[in-house]
Structure 1
Amino acid sequence: MSIQDYPSRISDPMSRKAETFSYLPKMDDDQIKAQVQYIINKGWNPAIEHSEPERATDYFWYMWKLPMFGETDVNVVLEEINNCIAANPNNHVRLIGYDNFSQSQGANMLIKRGDI
């Protein structure tokens, strides 16, 4: 058995993979909600970032407002995700869960792929 190659190339924007979840089928609203709930259940701080698809390989993305420190309402986070998408309809949007204790990202996933 061989390992499948994903032919992701810088020269082909449609082939680019942004992170681990981008190799999976697109998440639906319920799956995104479950990821937000997971982040909240872990006690992590949700945050939203976005970037133009052509800049997606850059280290720094635009932060949508500030991280939602201490937010425990999934619907508040989902509303901000939708606000970010509405304000930046052509951008990639990712959800992050900041872990205060390890001072790192506990979760980071692309939840909306921008138009290329």
Structure 2
Amino acid sequence: MSDVQDYSSRLSDPNSRKMETFSYLPQLTAEELRKQLQYIVDKGWNPAIEHSEPENAMSNYWYMWKLPMFGETDIDTILKEVELCHKSNPGNHVRVIGYDNIKQSQGTAFIVHRAEIKL
């Protein structure tokens, strides 16, 4: 049996906290992000963008950036909105959600910009 790695994610250290899908992996590259957005589009899910202050990131409530992008299939349009959200809220975490309109739930959610937390 292989050794299991312990991730030092602690409430007392906000910079160590893990959130959403992929949070234990290195930051997504531009190409990896495009592939994840393509996956959302290919599944027929509706992309949405949310943001939150780092101190409130563990809350269930994040601010929605505009409305979900119902029916959007252009990856460049989605990326443009992600960047607009990040530029408008530079101190916030930004995440992408893929809403599954058949199951009426989130199919995926992952952080695309993680804000630096100053202690």
Give yes or no for TM over 0.5: yes
Alignment TM-score, normalising by the size of structure 2: 0.94
Residue 23 of structure 2 aligns to a residue whose secondary structure is helix
Cα distance in 1 for partners of 2:71, 2:16 equals 36
Q: Percent identity?
A: 59
Give ranges in structure 2 of 5+ residues lacking alignment: none
Question: What residue is the counterpart of 2:105 in the other structure?
Answer: 104
Letter paired with 2:107: G
Letter paired with 2:55: E
Letter paired with 2:100: D
Question: What residue is the counterpart of 2:36 in the other structure?
Answer: 35
Letter paired with 1:34: K
Letter paired with 1:35: Q
Give ranges in structure 1 of 5+ residues lacking alignment: none
CA RMSD in angstroms, aligned pairs only? 0.9
Cα distance in 2 for partners of 1:70, 1:19 equals 23
Dislocated runs of 4+, deviation >6 Å = none
Deviation at 1:76, TM superposition (A): 0.7
Deviation at 1:31, TM superposition (A): 1.1
State how many pairs are aligned: 116
Deviation at 1:19, TM superposition (A): 2.1
Deviation at 1:82, TM superposition (A): 0.5
Provide, for residues 48-94 of structure 1, a one-character-per-residue CA deviation record: whole Å limited to 9, x for no partner: 00001111100010000000001111111010000000001111000
Letter paired with 1:102: K
Deviation at 1:105, TM superposition (A): 0.6
Relative to its length, the structure with more helix (as a share) is 1
Alignment TM-score, normalising by the size of structure 1: 0.96
Cα distance in 2 for partners of 1:20, 1:39 equals 13
* 2:115 is the counterpart of 1:114: yes
